[in-house]
Amino acid sequence: MHDAEALTGLMQVSQSAGRGEEAAGAGKKVFIKTFGCQMNVYDSERMADVLAPAGYTGTEDLREASLVILNTCHIREKAAEKVYSELGRIRQVQEARRRAGRDLVIAVAGCVAQAEGQEMALRAPAIGIVVGPQSYHRLPMLLEEHAKSGKTVIETEFPAAEKFGELPSPKRRAAPSAFLTAQEGCDKFCTFCVVPYTRGAEYSRPAAEILDEARRLTDRGVVEITLLGQNVNAYRGAGPSGGGWDLPDLLAALSDIPELQRLRFTTSHPNEMTAKLIAAHRDLSKLMPYLHLPFQAGSDRILKAMNRKHTMADYFRIVEELRAARPDIALSTDVIVGFPGETEEDFEETMRTAEKVQFAQAYSFKYSARPGTPAAEHDDQIAEEVKAERLARLQALLSAQQAAFNKAMAGRTLDVLWEAPGRKDGQLSGRSPYLQAVHAEGAHTLLGRITATEIVSASQNSLHGVIKN
């Protein structure tokens, strides 16, 4: 990812589990720490839902927890090292707890668990449970198994279909904007990426299941849904009455849910941007004019080495067609700098691509080798200082583009979905159609509503507005 990265910048959040039915073990608390992309944020929320009927409520205070889950991400460099260092800190809490006659179960979930589970269990015996991204619906059973045996329990199978069928309905009142996983896994095998190995083959949930989950979300007050998938635009799911559905079919059906006001999807591969999906950006008014479309590198030679299976001419054609279909569409992207063998001329092509497309937002990274991926074996790795210098040049350009895009909003009136109280008293924080963060003075009664908002000023990362009557 990188398209997965696409799924975006490093986030670390802890979440609260829902209040489910009280059951045996009531009163237990779970502390979940999430690393990585939106798919992991979604997975952490669903883990909390799965644990609620087993009596777990969430806590953001590690000292209160009887279960800690580290939901890990394998995209960033030294991901496993970060998990081990976090484990070291938690192990001290576990030891203190055991001296006091109580226990603290440590579970490692997510992509690092999937890729390195066996090794982790050997290296860090404090871990009680290792659970891969496709098996977290089995957490209550794994906890029981661990309690009975006292041994580390490892569950890293790939039955995605089974997982979605087993997940309980979310019970908490939701924020106005929610993620919903439509697709998982990847068959593309870009040579730099671990996702096909950690998340498995492409799997699309049946459309009826996604529509049901969307309706349950809107019943709980959600007005904006972002469909998630490592390759969400490769979605090919079973239609509700037989036949296959693609992503435009799914988006059209979701648009028919009256309470749902906004739709987004991420992350997309250029090769899956069909004419029908491009037309959906023209035809579906609820589909927001913002698309994350990684190009990764501007040189066809490097794209080939990355096994991206498209050329820059393909990418430019798609951008042109998207802008013809939806002239105000804002584009964001992922770029990797310093892929093995990248010459200065190759890098210049990346710079020219950014200049030509003009991105509203972008995530750019230095290439770093992921063990087990083909690119990690190349012997023409680029020196760190060369990568750093190229990345600095690219980021200066991309930051200027983002600032210019935001500044162009000043004086315009945008529809803003108010999602949360702002940091300052009396302030709200929300999102524009173009996914920009917007702040304005406003009453909390506006949370969950979309209001016309005049943008009065813009900075690098956010807009400030005045809510109109």
Least distance CB 17 / ligand SF4 (angstroms) = 29
Q: What share of the chain is helix, strand, coil (3-state, %, to 5)?
A: 40, 25, 35
Asked if residue 189 binds ligand SF4 (CB under 6 A), the reply is yes
Exactly one of 1, 108, 120, 143 binds ligand SF4 (CB under 6 A); which one? 1
- Only segment of 40-48, 181-189, 257-265, 356-364 that touches ligand SF4 (CB under 6 A): 181-189
Task: Provide CB contacts within 8 A for 432, sequence distance 6+.
Answer: 409, 414, 415, 416, 438, 463
**What is the Cα–Cα distance from 148 to 320, expressed in whole angstroms?**
60
Q: What angle do CA 75, 76, 77 make, to 5 degrees?
A: 125
- Which CB, 269 or 281, lies closer to ligand SF4? 269
Structure tokens at 444: 């909390």
Nearer to ligand SF4, 132 or 433 (CB): 132
Closest distance to ligand SF4 from the beta carbon of 1 (Å): 4
Tell me the H-state helices in 306-343.
312-325
Which one, 359 or 405, has the nearer CB to ligand SF4?
359
Between 57 and 373, CB nearer to ligand SF4: 373
91: Cα separation from own chain's centroid: 28
Task: Tell me, by CB under 6 A, how many residues bind ligand SF4.
Answer: 14
Residue 196 contacts ligand SF4 per CB under 6 A: yes
What is the C-alpha separation between 96 and 221, in angstroms, rounded?
Answer: 42
Q: Going residue by residue from 244 to 283, which x/- string records binding to ligand SF4, judged by CB under 6 A?
A: -------------------------x--------------
Instruction: Tell which one of 17, 39, 174, 190 touches ligand SF4 (CB under 6 A).
Output: 190
> Which among 2-10, 117-125, 383-391, 441-449 is the span making contact with ligand SF4, rule CB under 6 A?
2-10
With contact defined as beta carbons under 8 Å apart, do 274 and 246 qualify? yes
Nearer to ligand SF4, 94 or 231 (CB): 231
Rounded least distance, CB 4 to ligand SF4, Å: 5
Residue of the chain from 154, 193, 337, 360 that contacts ligand SF4 (CB under 6 A): 193
What is the gyration radius of the CA atoms in the chain, in angstroms? 22
Among 110-118, 185-193, 235-243, 429-437, which window interacts with ligand SF4 (CB under 6 A)? Answer: 185-193
Smaller CB distance to ligand SF4: residue 11 or 122? 11
Residue 249 CA to residue 136 CA, distance in Å, equals 29
- Nearest-angstrom CA–CA distance, 379 and 158: 33
Return the DSSP state at 296: B
Question: If binding is defined by CB under 6 A, does position 195 make contact with ligand SF4?
Answer: yes
Under 8 Å between Cβ of 467 and 453: yes
Q: For residue 145, give both structure tokens.
A: 């198994």
The reply on whether position 230 binds ligand SF4 by CB under 6 A is yes
- CA–CA distance from 198 to each of 79, 212, 390, 445 (Å)? 13, 27, 29, 42
Report the alpha-carbon distance of residue 414 to residue 398 in Å, rounded: 23
d(CA 144, CA 121): 18
184 binds ligand SF4 (CB under 6 A): no
Binding site for ligand SF4 (CB under 6 A): 1-4, 186, 188-190, 193, 195-196, 230-231, 269
